[in-house]
C-alpha cells in the first residue's frame, strides 16, 4: 500500500510537532435513568498535535459525543486527565470553540450578533471582535448576510454561522460534534471541503466527531476509531492522503482502503 509506505517517511516529521491536547486514562461512568451502570468511556489515551485535524468515528453509543463534551468542559469525567498544553481541563475553557450538531443560533439575533456571542460572553474587545466576526463571515461566504436573522438562512448557511461563532474568540481548539449530520448529502460534501479550507486558513487544531467513515477519512490527519460497550479507542489511523483534499479523492483506491480498514471494526454490516 503506497500510502502506508509514505507514512513511514512522514511519521518522524509529524512526531516533532507539539502536542496540544493530551488525554490520559480517561474514564466516564454514569448511572442511566433505569439505574443501570453505563461505562461510557474506558481508558481513553490520545495525544492531539497542535494544528492537526483529528476525527473521531464510531457507531452511536461508542461514547464519541461524550468524549467531545468532556473536552468542551460541559460534562465531568469520572477519572483520568485531559490537558490542554499544560493546563488541566476541568470546565469550559476560553481556548475552545464548539460547533454542535444543530447550529443552535439565537433566532432573535442577527447573523453578526450570533457570531459575536462568545466574545460578548468573554467580555472581549467588541470592536476587534466585530471586525474578526466580519472576516470570518466573509471567509464562509456570508458577508452579505450579517444583518439577516437565522430564520432566513438555509441549514448549510446556519451551520457556517455556527462555525464562525466557534472561531470568533480565537480559540486554540475547535470541537465539532457531528456538525453536518443534519444536512443533506450534497451540502455536506461542500461543507467538508469548506471546513478544510477554514481549518487551513485559520490554522486551528480541530477535533470532529462523526459517524460517517468516509467523512472521517476525508477530513482527517488522524482518525480515532471508537467501539461501544464500553466506549474505547479501537484504533488510531493516520491518514496520509495529500492535501489539499478534493472530492475526487473519495474515488481513489487509497481512500477506499482507509475506509475499508476502519469499517472492519464495526461488525459484518457493510464490511468488505
Q: Does 117 bind another protein (CB under 8 A)?
A: yes
User: In a 3-state reduction of DSSP, which class is residue 74?
Assistant: coil
Closer residue to another protein (CB): 26 or 117: 117
Q: Tell me which H or E stretch contains 41.
A: strand 37-49
E-state strands within 50-138: 53-57, 79-84, 87-88, 96-99
Q: Kindly tell me the sign of the dihedral angle through the C-alpha atoms of 191, 200, 215, 208.
A: negative
E-state strands within 119-269: 173-177, 205-210, 222-227, 232-238
Q: Which residues are within 8 A (CB) of 81 and not within 5 positions of it... i.e. 6 or more apart?
A: 22, 23, 24, 25, 26, 88
Applying CB under 8 A, among 97, 156, 179, 231 the residue interacting with another protein is 97
Separation of CA 203 from chain center: 14
User: Which listed range, 59-67, 87-95, 184-192, 233-241, lies at the site for another protein (CB under 8 A)?
Assistant: 87-95
Applying CB under 8 A, among 24, 30, 88, 94 the residue interacting with another protein is 94
Q: Does 190 bind another protein (CB under 8 A)?
A: no
Applying CB under 8 A, among 121, 128, 143, 236 the residue interacting with another protein is 121
Applying CB under 8 A, among 89, 96, 198, 225 the residue interacting with another protein is 96
Closer residue to another protein (CB): 124 or 250: 124
Please list every residue from 5 through 44 that binds another protein, using CB under 8 A. none
CA distance 15 to 10: 9
Q: Tell me which H or E stretch contains 23.
A: strand 19-31
Q: Does 236 bind another protein (CB under 8 A)?
A: no
Q: Does 255 bind another protein (CB under 8 A)?
A: no
Residues found near another protein in the complex (CB under 8 A): 69, 72-74, 92-94, 96-98, 100-102, 104, 106-108, 117-118, 120-122, 149-152, 169, 175
Amino acid at each position: 500500500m503506497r500510502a502506508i509506505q509514505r507514512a513511514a517517511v512522514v511519521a518522524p516529521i509529524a512526531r516533532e510537532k507539539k502536542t496540544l491536547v493530551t488525554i490520559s486514562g480517561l474514564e466516564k461512568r454514569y448511572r442511566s435513568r433505569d439505574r443501570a451502570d453505563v461505562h461510557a468511556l474506558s481508558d481513553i489515551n490520545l495525544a492531539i498535535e497542535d494544528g492537526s485535524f483529528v476525527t473521531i468515528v464510531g457507531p452511536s453509543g461508542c461514547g464519541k459525543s461524550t468524549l467531545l463534551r468532556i473536552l468542551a468542559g460541559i460534562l465531568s469525567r469520572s477519572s483520568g486527565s485531559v490537558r490542554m498544553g499544560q493546563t488541566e481541563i476541568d470546565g469550559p475553557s476560553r481556548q475552545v470553540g464548539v460547533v454542535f450538531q444543530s447550529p443552535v443560533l439565537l433566532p432573535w439575533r442577527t447573523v453578526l450578533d450570533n457570531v459575536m456571542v462568545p466574545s460578548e460572553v468573554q467580555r472581549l474587545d467588541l470592536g476587534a471582535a466585530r471586525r474578526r466576526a466580519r472576516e470570518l463571515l466573509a471567509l464562509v461566504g456570508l458577508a452579505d448576510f450579517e444583518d439577516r436573522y437565522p430564520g432566513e438562512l438555509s441549514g448549510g448557511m446556519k451551520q457556517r454561522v455556527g462555525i464562525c461563532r466557534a472561531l470568533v474568540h480565537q480559540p486554540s481548539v475547535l470541537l465539532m460534534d457531528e456538525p453536518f449530520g443534519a444536512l443533506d448529502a450534497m451540502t455536506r460534501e461542500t461543507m467538508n471541503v469548506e471546513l478544510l479550507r477554514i481549518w487551513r486558513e485559520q490554522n486551528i487544531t480541530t477535533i470532529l466527531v462523526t459517524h460517517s467513515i468516509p467523512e472521517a477519512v476525508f477530513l482527517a490527519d488522524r482518525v480515532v476509531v471508537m467501539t461501544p460497550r464500553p466506549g474505547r479507542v479501537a484504533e488510531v489511523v493516520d491518514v496520509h492522503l495529500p492535501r489539499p483534499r478534493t472530492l475526487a479523492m473519495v474515488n481513489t483506491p487509497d481512500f477506499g482502503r482507509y475506509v475499508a480498514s476502519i469499517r472492519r471494526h464495526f461488525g459484518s454490516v457493510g464490511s468488505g
